Chains A and B, each alone.
Chain A
Amino acid sequence: MPASTRTLGGVSPALHENECLAPCRDTCASTTTAPTDEHTEDAAPAAGFPGEELYVTFIDKEGQEHKIAVNKGDNLLDIAQAHDLEMEGACGGSCACSTCHVIVLDQGMYDKMPEPEDDENDMLDLAFGLTETSRLGCQVHMTKELDGLRVKLPSMTRNLQASDFK
């Protein structure tokens, strides 16, 4: 069964203080990918064991990249919310909606993840802009194998759906 916890796994409260607030977004949300990025530097001490943090990069709807240092076990929804990225998680991470839909950019990375359970697939079936490498952020937990993971947040424009206006 999917976890329904809202707590931030291994992410310590210190990470909250480094939430990417609006002014920060202007400076660090560019396409910086080097680990020297200001944001990731700040976040790194939050990892449980220095030197063992993992990195995940979110590409938001505007195409901006956010590289974030995280701990093993953290799920993508909690990470995104702790960094004020636009990911809703309407059901609180209990695999009962599709609002934390992410697209894994690398097929190889997608294959390294444990296969989605039926209930995750059931929700993905209803997601807008479903792809072959779509997952629910709340169900993807960071592991060493997933270090360097890159995911894209799908744009959710309903008004492009012609079927809505029949």
Chain B
Amino acid sequence: MAVIGSGPAGFYTAYRVMSRVQGAKVDMYEQLPVPFGLVRFGVAPDHPEVKNCQEKFEEVGSSPNFTFVGNASIGHPSTHPGGVTIPLPTLLRNYDAVVFAYGASRDKTLGIPGEGLKGIYSAREFVGWYNGLPDFADLAPDLTQGEDAVLIGQGNVALDVARMLLENVDRLRKTDIGEHALETLSKSRIKRVHIVGRRGPMQAAFTIKEIREMMKLPDVAFNSLDTSLIPDDVKKLPRAQKRLMEILLKGSPTSVDSATKSWYLDFCLSPKRFESNSRDPSRVGSTVFEKTQLSSPFDTNAFTTGTGELVDIPSSVVFRSIGYKSVPLDGFSDLGVPFDEKRGIIQNDGEGRVQHEARTYDGAMGVSHFPGLYCAGWVKRGPTGVIASTMIDAFATADAIAHDWAAKAPFLNEDSQDRRASGWDAVKTQVDSQQARIVEWEEWQKIDRAEKERGRKVGKEREKFTRTADMLAVLS
């Protein structure tokens, strides 16, 4: 079996299949030289406990039935030094099953005027930058233009970004955040962070742990929110909502007067356009929002309508945090792998079997499966949820694979005369590997040790390499 992507979805699927299907061999392809996807590049540096799942992944990685193929891009051309590009059909020819677990590599855009102004970043690139993702090593976000940051979107990614902007930099020094990020954050002038959402607190995507953390930040105050959007009698709400509303109403122990920095949850505002800075017209100066009205303020599924009333929030820097997006792999359309562009997922049966709906000869809608093709994680169900939800979802995919295998359902290459499901051993002879610098599991472990060693020198768990060339240099 081949797994494309080495984040939590890929590893949990591999782990479960290897424990459910006797003798299963798994090759995992990763476009970077290093594994773990969003556990390494997404999870906030001040949440080290969330990264403990890496222990399980290390266990999987060291299994004799597991092969890590790092620095290998499937479909689209590799952009990394020594990176090899493997066309999807080549992969499909050499496996019984292929699992797409490559996540969501793009972000959604707002599509409003002024979005191209300097000082507007996507949360995804900012998070990638402070977490050492090579793609964004050169982002160099400018946090020195003023005191107001605006975050558009109210999910947990927005709260991660807000925490980075509000937290005392010295508290971050012990985490695995990059030195480059510490330097930038220590020069930050940001004092007020506005976290803005189209809907209200009852509809917001953030979760209670992250809100509680924000409330507890030393010397940081929460500005009170519009309580008309919270029911009078929160006690009657379902447990999770009740607890979340209570914590929002209670606020932070630090008052705005005594705080050095503060944050806002601004509700019922929909972004309309960005205005440029009066001193520098190439740079953002403020964000114009339209006030919205909820169809029913306490209904979690409420929708909004615009009121026409505009609100201007000063914006020295803006982070767009309205969600990630998956894209199809090069080769999907030729192979007929169905990709739902609107939802940004590979069409599947909910258990991870790739399928598409098609009209049968008699005109009725039918469903057809692609034997041997599966998906897991964000490319299966959309870019939401924590590691626990990704784990459950990956296990469901793995159980579907194990079930199909036991039931002798059709897999890839069933009809081919010489059945060549010999995996990476065969694939590597079929790709242009002249300049290739594939990274194997033991080599990743070398990079891992080197990063930890670098970290020790500056009193951290690890100091990541932020350039693929530097990662590979460890191996030469």
The interface of chain A, by Cβ under 8 A from chain B, is 4, 88, 90-92, 94-99, 118-119, 121-123, 125-128, 130, 156-159, 164-165
Q: What is the minimal beta-carbon distance from B7 to any residue of chain A, in angstroms? A: 13
Bin the interface of chain B by size: 20 to 34
Q: What is the minimal beta-carbon distance from B160 to any residue of chain A, in angstroms? A: 14
Measured CA separation A165–B381 after assembly (Å): 8
A125 touches B240 (CB 8 A): yes
Q: What is the minimal beta-carbon distance from B36 to any residue of chain A, in angstroms? A: 13
Measured CA separation A92–B381 after assembly (Å): 25
Residues of A contacting B55 in the complex (Cβ-Cβ under 8 angstroms): 92
B50 touches A91 (CB 8 A): yes
A126 touches B243 (CB 8 A): no
Residues of A contacting B350 in the complex (Cβ-Cβ under 8 angstroms): 159, 164-165
A126 touches B392 (CB 8 A): no
Residues of B contacting A4 in the complex (Cβ-Cβ under 8 angstroms): 49
Kindly report which residue of chain B lies nearest to residue A2, judged by CB atoms: B49
Say yes or no for B239: interface residue by CB 8 A criterion: yes
Residues of A contacting B393 in the complex (Cβ-Cβ under 8 angstroms): 158
Q: Say yes or no: A159-B351 contact (C-beta < 8 A), given A122-B212, A126-B386.
A: yes
Q: What is the minimal beta-carbon distance from A124 to any residue of chain B, in angstroms? A: 8
B389 touches A123 (CB 8 A): no
Q: What is the minimal beta-carbon distance from A59 to any residue of chain B, in angstroms? A: 19
Q: Could you list 9 A-B pairs, sorted by A, with CB under 8 Å?
A: A90-B391, A92-B52, A96-B47, A97-B387, A99-B388, A125-B207, A128-B392, A158-B389, A158-B393
Map CB proximity to A onto B194-217 as digits: 1 under 8 Å, 0 otherwise.
000000000000011100100000
B388 touches A157 (CB 8 A): no
Kindly report which residue of chain A lies nearest to residue B209, judged by CB atoms: A122
Of residues 240 to 264 in B, which have CB atoms within 8 Å of A's CB atoms? 240, 243-244
Number of A-B contacts (CB under 8 A): 72
Measured CA separation A158–B395 after assembly (Å): 10
Measured CA separation A97–B240 after assembly (Å): 15
Measured CA separation A165–B345 after assembly (Å): 11
Q: What is the minimal beta-carbon distance from A7 to any residue of chain B, in angstroms? A: 13
Map CB proximity to A onto B356-397 as digits: 1 under 8 Å, 0 otherwise.
000000000000000000000000010000111101110110
Map CB proximity to A onto B25-64 as digits: 1 under 8 Å, 0 otherwise.
0000000000000000000000101101101100000000
Which of these, B243, B387, B396, contacts A90 with CB under 8 Å? Answer: B387
Residues of B contacting A127 in the complex (Cβ-Cβ under 8 angstroms): 388
A158 touches B396 (CB 8 A): yes
Q: Say yes or no: A90-B52 contact (C-beta < 8 A), given A118-B212, A122-B212.
A: yes
Extra A-B contacts (18), CB below 8 Å, given A96-B50, A123-B209, A164-B350: A4-B49, A90-B56, A91-B49, A91-B387, A92-B49, A92-B53, A95-B49, A96-B47, A96-B209, A97-B388, A118-B212, A126-B240, A126-B388, A127-B388, A130-B239, A158-B381, A158-B396, A159-B396
Measured CA separation A134–B353 after assembly (Å): 32
Measured CA separation A99–B396 after assembly (Å): 14
Residues of B contacting A99 in the complex (Cβ-Cβ under 8 angstroms): 388, 391
Residues of B contacting A122 in the complex (Cβ-Cβ under 8 angstroms): 207-209, 212, 243
B392 touches A158 (CB 8 A): yes
Q: Say yes or no: A91-B239 contact (C-beta < 8 A), given A126-B388, A157-B396, A164-B381.
A: no
Q: Which 9 A-B pairs have the closest CB atoms?
A: A92-B52, A125-B240, A94-B49, A96-B49, A159-B350, A122-B209, A90-B53, A156-B392, A122-B208
Q: Say yes or no: A97-B50 contact (C-beta < 8 A), given A123-B209, A126-B386, A158-B389.
A: yes
Measured CA separation A156–B16 after assembly (Å): 14
Kindly report which residue of chain A lies nearest to residue B381, judged by CB atoms: A164
Kindly report which residue of chain A lies nearest to residue B300, judged by CB atoms: A163
Q: What is the minimal beta-carbon distance from B37 to any residue of chain A, in angstroms? A: 14
Residues of B contacting A159 in the complex (Cβ-Cβ under 8 angstroms): 350-351, 396
Interface centre among A119, A122, A127, A165 (most CB of B within 10 A): A122
A126 touches B207 (CB 8 A): yes
Residues of B contacting A164 in the complex (Cβ-Cβ under 8 angstroms): 350, 381
Kindly report which residue of chain A lies nearest to residue B350, judged by CB atoms: A159
Measured CA separation A81–B50 after assembly (Å): 18
A125 touches B243 (CB 8 A): yes
Measured CA separation A98–B392 after assembly (Å): 11
Measured CA separation A1–B65 after assembly (Å): 39
Q: What is the minimal beta-carbon distance from A165 to any residue of chain B, in angstroms? A: 7
Measured CA separation A99–B50 after assembly (Å): 12
Residues of B contacting A88 in the complex (Cβ-Cβ under 8 angstroms): 56, 391
Residues of B contacting A157 in the complex (Cβ-Cβ under 8 angstroms): 396
Residues of A contacting B381 in the complex (Cβ-Cβ under 8 angstroms): 158, 164
Kindly report which residue of chain B lies nearest to residue A163, judged by CB atoms: B301
Measured CA separation A165–B207 after assembly (Å): 21
Residues of A contacting B240 in the complex (Cβ-Cβ under 8 angstroms): 125-126, 130
Kindly report which residue of chain B lies nearest to residue A164, judged by CB atoms: B381
Residues of A contacting B49 in the complex (Cβ-Cβ under 8 angstroms): 4, 91-92, 94-96
Measured CA separation A95–B393 after assembly (Å): 20
Measured CA separation A117–B46 after assembly (Å): 20
Residues of B contacting A96 in the complex (Cβ-Cβ under 8 angstroms): 47, 49-50, 52, 209
Map CB proximity to A onto B338-361 as digits: 1 under 8 Å, 0 otherwise.
000000000000110000000000
